[in-house]
């Protein structure tokens, strides 16, 4: 059963941008992801904007930028909508190459964990949790369902972003066996940390933890009071 047509790649990006940031270019979330599409260090390295740094597990942006599209800093990127639009396209082209390198495009047209797989759904799922986690989901037959840092499951993005024509990204991708092997090696190393695995959900913000005191906290408080009273009387 195929999904109904939702639009082209521009429509896909419009939906993705709204989901990630409400369409805002100048936003940075608490995990250090930037802009309309909430791109991290690894994503912007793939897109050719960031050189990387000594802390690849953090989006702390302490490294150097390449100067592509006139972007020399995090602030430059946040204040340059066109650079962000260019960056997401470059990143998605690289992501699709990773997807093909792992043969994940062979799942298109199949149903996994109740979700009908499409090209645009694969791209959406990879944007949420990274290609390696996407591979785990597909190759486990849906038994493993990766989630982002806010608890959003990959199945939600696979379904939400299915049905778009993204041939602008996927249409002319071919690779030699040598390039495929190289990309597989990159995945084993770089994609140990998904580029965009902790993106917040702006339509359904993560709930704050309950502000009340836990049971163990109350118990510790009572014990502390008794100790204080005992200490006072023991000094008399």
Q: What is the CATH number of the domain that holds 86?
A: 1.10.530
Name the residue among 115, 169, 180 with its Cα closest to residue 141. Answer: 115
In 109-226, the DSSP E strands lie at 111-112, 115-116, 164-165
Q: Do the domain assignments include residue 188?
A: yes
Q: Do the domain assignments include residue 215?
A: no
The average pLDDT across 7-22 equals 97
User: Domain total for the chain?
Assistant: 1
Q: Do the domain assignments include residue 2?
A: no
Confidence of residue 150 (pLDDT cuts 50, 70, 90): confident
Q: Do the domain assignments include residue 232?
A: no
Q: Do the domain assignments include residue 48?
A: yes
Note down the domain range covering 176: 7-209
The average pLDDT across 213-233 equals 45
Q: Do the domain assignments include residue 228?
A: no
For residue 31, give the DSSP letter.
Answer: T
Name the residue among 22, 18, 44, 41 with its Cα closest to residue 31. Answer: 41
Q: Do the domain assignments include residue 236?
A: no
Q: Do the domain assignments include residue 231?
A: no
Confidence of residue 84 (pLDDT cuts 50, 70, 90): very high
Task: Report d(CA 50, CA 67) in Å as an integer.
Answer: 8
Task: Look at residue 230 and tell me whether its pLDDT is greater than 50.
Answer: no
Q: How far, CA to CA in Å, does 210 sit from each of 160, 187, 207?
A: 29, 38, 9
């Amino acid at each position: 059963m195929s999904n109904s047509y939702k639009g082209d790649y521009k429509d896909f990006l419009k939906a993705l941008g709204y989901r990630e940031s409400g369409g805002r270019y100048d936003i940075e979330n608490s995990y250090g992801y930037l802009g309309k599409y909430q791109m991290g260090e690894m994503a912007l390295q793939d897109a050719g904007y960031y050189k990387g740094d000594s802390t690849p597990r953090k989006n702390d942006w302490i490294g150097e930028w390449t100067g592509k599209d006139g972007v020399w800093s995090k602030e430059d990127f946040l204040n340059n909508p066109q650079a962000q639009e260019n960056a997401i396209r470059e990143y998605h082209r690289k992501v699709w190459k990773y997807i093909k390198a792992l043969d994940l495009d062979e799942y298109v047209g199949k149903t996994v964990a109740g979700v009908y797989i499409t090209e645009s759904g694969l791209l959406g799922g990879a944007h949420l949790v990274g290609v390696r986690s996407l591979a785990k989901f597909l190759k486990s037959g849906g038994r493993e369902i990766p989630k982002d840092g806010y608890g959003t499951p990959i199945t939600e993005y696979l379904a939400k972003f299915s049905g778009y024509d993204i041939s602008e990204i996927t249409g002319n991708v071919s690779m030699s066996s040598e390039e495929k092997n190289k990309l597989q090696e990159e995945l084993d190393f770089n994609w140990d940390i998904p580029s965009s695995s902790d993106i917040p959900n702006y339509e359904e913000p993560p709930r704050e933890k309950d502000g009340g005191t836990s049971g163990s906290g109350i118990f510790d408080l009572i014990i502390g009071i008794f100790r204080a009273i005992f200490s006072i009387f023991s000094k008399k």
